[in-house]
Amino acid sequence: MSRRATLLSCVAVAAIGWLPTVAGAQANVIGVVYDSLATRAALFEAQVTIVELGRIAWTDKRGRFKFDTVKAGHYTITFMHPVLDSLDVSAPEVSLDVPPAGTVVAALATPSPATTYARLCPGPKELKTGAVYGRVHAATDGTPVAGVRVFGTWLDMLLVGTRLKRQWRETGVVSGSRGEFLLCNVPNDVAVDIRAARGVLAAGPVQVQTGEQLIAHIDFKVPITDSSSRMLAGDAGRALRADTMPPSGTSVLSGLVRTFDGKPVADALVGLLGFNVSARTNAAGQFALARLPSGTRTVQVRAVGATPTNVIVDLPEGGRSETTVTLEKRAPTLATVSVQGTRDTRDVPHSSTGFASRQKAALGKYLTGDEIRKFQPWSLVDALAMVTGVRREWSASGPSITIRGSKGQCIPSIFLDGMSIANGERGDIPELEGFIKPEEISGVEVYPGPFIPPQFDRTQQTGCGSVAIWTRR
């Protein structure tokens, strides 16, 4: 045999030996599923499918999935997850070209918030609005509940001439046969209280502010027989609100408050949003709240040096629940320093407001932002009640304050950043509770009389003094 024939023979043998390897070549497919709608994070326990092959994989806690030994070809890959089921939308299908060997990376994600919003809420979209969706289940056994009214309330402050006009607004829907609900055109630039009411028994409130996310997800557990979850009607035109007296429910919540590095937080204030109940953590960071109304509730936690934190919990009827709250350290704020002189570094209103000069004249009672944050008041009423002579009161319309006037205790006029927003009407303070947070206040002035600065004097109309609130806006 010639040298050339021998060489060709060897090549042929090599080719024959290589062909089975090509025919049996297979690749790996790996990837991540990302949730751009509800959590803005990797999606856990998503079912990923290569459609043409009928092969399924599940994502881990980091949203990762993997298919081994996938034959070369052109395929379609997609996924399913309850977050999509509750919205009745489908995940996009992605084309996948698998080579004979190696590893292919596939990136999967839920539809963008803008795309999903357009599908869910067709028609004109109001400016600065988003959507809230979810499902409603029974607090007893977790079964879906239809016919539940899910509604959101928020406070609009409208500038009319030189006055701020308060206007409560509300939007609501009724849950469907599978407990599903969808609220469209919900403001995304203010905090909105969302509740789910089955008759007079309601869960919530859960505070939502969608912001740039456009879409927020909430699942509600609604009470079935727990009478402590009963709602009281507020004034005409206002949303239903929880009773402000201490509840007498059947649920117990215990838990732990800690820092990000796992250290317990002692003396943190833990309360239930919308209800007059709270407790302090012990040295081990532990707390317990008893006789709570069942259903989905919001736990509020505050501690010195930490950012106030809200946590949503589901409280079973006649049962116990546990939660762990991790607090984020509050970033220190440094005062601005001028090279031309010195300045007052206290957290007080700007000098243009005249706060400092009136405080020096001592015509009323005064409170600075530093003093307020030192004691970590739970609410606007708690902050105002720090001022000597201000009395905290409770009623069916909510927590409020009174001061002593010429004819006894009375409801003061309220000024916000120099503008009159309330003229001594009952229910004014409860309405402002969700609009003004204690940490936003830089100063408070209280004038029971008779010496009231002219710009704050409404005694001719109300017969009572005034309270001026300044914020850091």
Q: How far apart (Å, rounded) are the C-alpha atoms in residues 91 and 80?
A: 7
Helix (H/G/I), strand (E/B), else coil: 325 = strand
pLDDT for res 37: 74
pLDDT for res 18: 36
**Joined tokens for residue 240:** 């239903």
Structural domain spans, the chain: 20-109, 114-242, 243-332, 351-471
Q: HSE-up of 281 (CA within 13 Å, CB side)?
A: 24
φ and ψ of 37, to 5 deg: -100, -65
Whether omega for the bond prior to residue 438 falls within 30 degrees of 0, making it cis, is no
The rounded radius of gyration (Å) of the Cα atoms in the chain is 30
- Which parts of 385-464 fold into alpha helices (H)? 428-432, 459-462
Task: Quote the Cα angle for 193-268-332, to 5°.
Answer: 85
pLDDT for res 352: 78
DSSP string, 138-178: ETTT--B--S-EEEEEEEEEEEETTEEEEEEEEEEEE--TT
pTM: 0.63
Judged by phi (left if over 0) then psi (alpha if -120 to 50, else beta), residue 449 lies in left
CB atoms within 10 A of CB 393: 16
Under CATH, which number does the domain 114-242 receive? Answer: 2.60.40.1120
Give me the amino acid identity at 401.
Answer: I
Q: What is the mean pLDDT of each successive set of 10 residues along the chain, which is 473 residues long?
A: 40 36 70 82 91 94 93 93 73 90 90 81 81 91 94 76 69 92 86 89 85 81 87 48 61 93 90 82 94 91 82 91 87 49 58 85 89 81 86 70 82 86 71 76 90 86 89 73
Domain 351-471: CATH superfamily is TonB-dependent receptor, plug domain (2.170.130.10)
Whether the CB-CB separation of 295 and 221 falls below 8 Å is answered with yes
Pairing, β 129-138 against β 231-232: unpaired
Domain 243-332: which CATH number of 1.10.150.240, 3.40.47.10, 3.40.190.10, 2.60.40.1120: 2.60.40.1120
pLDDT for res 3: 41
3-state DSSP of 255-309:
EEEEECCCCECCCCEEEECCCCCEEECCCCCEEEEEEECCEEEEEEEECCCECCE
Give me the amino acid identity at 123.
Answer: G
DSSP string, 203-220: EEEEEE--GGG-EEE--E
pLDDT for res 417: 83
**Joined tokens for residue 100:** 């004979």
Q: How far apart (Å, rounded) are the C-alpha atoms in residues 203 and 136?
A: 10
Ranges assigned E (strand) in 328-472: 365-368, 391-395, 398-405, 408-410, 413-416, 419-423, 441-447, 466-471
pLDDT for res 192: 86
Judged by phi (left if over 0) then psi (alpha if -120 to 50, else beta), residue 371 lies in alpha
pLDDT for res 398: 64
pLDDT for res 208: 84
Whether the CB-CB separation of 432 and 378 falls below 8 Å is answered with no
φ and ψ of 125, to 5 deg: -110, 125
CB atoms within 10 A of CB 4: 8
20-109 shares its CATH topology with 114-242: yes
What is the DSSP code (8-state) at residue 338? Answer: -
Pairing, β 241-242 against β 180-187: unpaired
Domain 20-109: which CATH number of 3.90.870.10, 2.60.40.10, 3.30.565.10, 3.20.20.140: 2.60.40.10
